[in-house]
Amino acid sequence: MKKLLIVYHSMTGGTRQMAAAAAQAACAEEALETVLMRAADAGPDDVLGADGYLFATPENLASMSGVMKDFFDRTYYAVLDRINGRPYAALICAGSDGRGALRQLDRIATGWRLKCVAPGLIVCTHAQDPVRILAPKVIEAADLAKCAEVGAGLAAGLAAGVF
Ligand SMILES: Cc1cc2nc3c(=O)[nH]c(=O)nc-3n(C[C@H](O)[C@H](O)[C@H](O)COP(=O)(O)O)c2cc1C
């Protein structure tokens, strides 16, 4: 059975809700195992053991969050040239932008020779002042539905072997 690995980090809950929505949709695909992991808990064996990936991160200071970057720092060379061609997609939770984190994530995936199978999805929480940025986030249903679409698409493609 093919395996989809969803790796995420979240400080105030937005990215966690996005990753969970994608995971729930992917789990509906019975011919596929979906594994949802926090970035801090994921390592090279988890990456090697999966057939496709969904990476979900907040944008912090115009880049992916430090914990998500740490995941890539710990795994990058351990799996380089061993996962070429596998499919991936990205979810970004941002206050107002998100493009820096997405660009960075796509560059890392390009280095891994992964195949991007869905446009990167950026969800903006419109948090731009310290109080709102540090407050717990609630992602709107319409945005969660978009995350679910990404998860379902990845799952269906993996299960059907079309990627
Ligand atoms: C230290 C820090 C830096 C941030 N920098 C950015 C940024 O550069 N661009 C942006 O759009 N949002 C930025 N944000 C806002 C977060 O992306 C936003 O709060 C998002 O909801 C965080 O995701 P999370 O709820 O999963 O932690 C920043 C937040 C923090 C805490």
DSSP summary character for residue 23 = H
Q: Would you state the pLDDT for residue 13? A: 98
| Type of residue at 92 | I
- CATH value of 2-160 in 3.40.50.360, 3.40.50.300, 3.40.50.720, 3.40.50.1980: 3.40.50.360
- Angle formed by the axes of helices 99-111 and 66-79, to 10°? 10
Which ligand 1 atom sits nearest the alpha carbon of residue 136?
25
**2-13 pLDDT per residue, tens:** 999 999 999 999
**135-156 pLDDT per residue, tens:** 999 999 999 999 999 999 999 9
Please answer whether residues 133 and 94 qualify as being in contact, where contact means their C-beta atoms are separated by less than 8 angstroms. Answer: no
DSSP summary character for residue 120 = P
pLDDT category, 20, cuts 50, 70, 90? very high
**87-135 pLDDT per residue, tens:** 999 999 999 999 999 999 999 999 999 999 999 999 999 998 999 999 9
**41-81 pLDDT per residue, tens:** 999 999 999 999 999 999 999 999 999 999 999 999 999 99
Q: Would you state the pLDDT for residue 115? A: 98
CA distances from 114 to 31, 61, 141, 142, 161 (A): 22, 25, 30, 28, 15
Q: Would you state the pLDDT for residue 140? A: 98
Which ligand 1 atom sits nearest the alpha carbon of residue 97?
11
3-class state of residue 103 by DSSP? helix
Distance 154 CA to ligand 1 centre (A): 26
Question: Which residue, among 45, 51, 108, 113, has the nearest Cα to 78 in the 3D structure?
Answer: 45
d(CA 121, CA 42): 22
- Provide CB contacts within 8 A for 79, sequence distance 6+: 44, 47, 48, 112
Distance 45 CA to ligand 1 centre (A): 29
Which ligand 1 atom sits nearest the alpha carbon of residue 128?
15
- Provide CB contacts within 8 A for 89, sequence distance 6+: 53, 54, 55, 116, 117, 118, 120, 121, 150, 153, 154
Distance 134 CA to ligand 1 centre (A): 9
Domain range summary for the chain, segments of one domain joined by +: 2-160
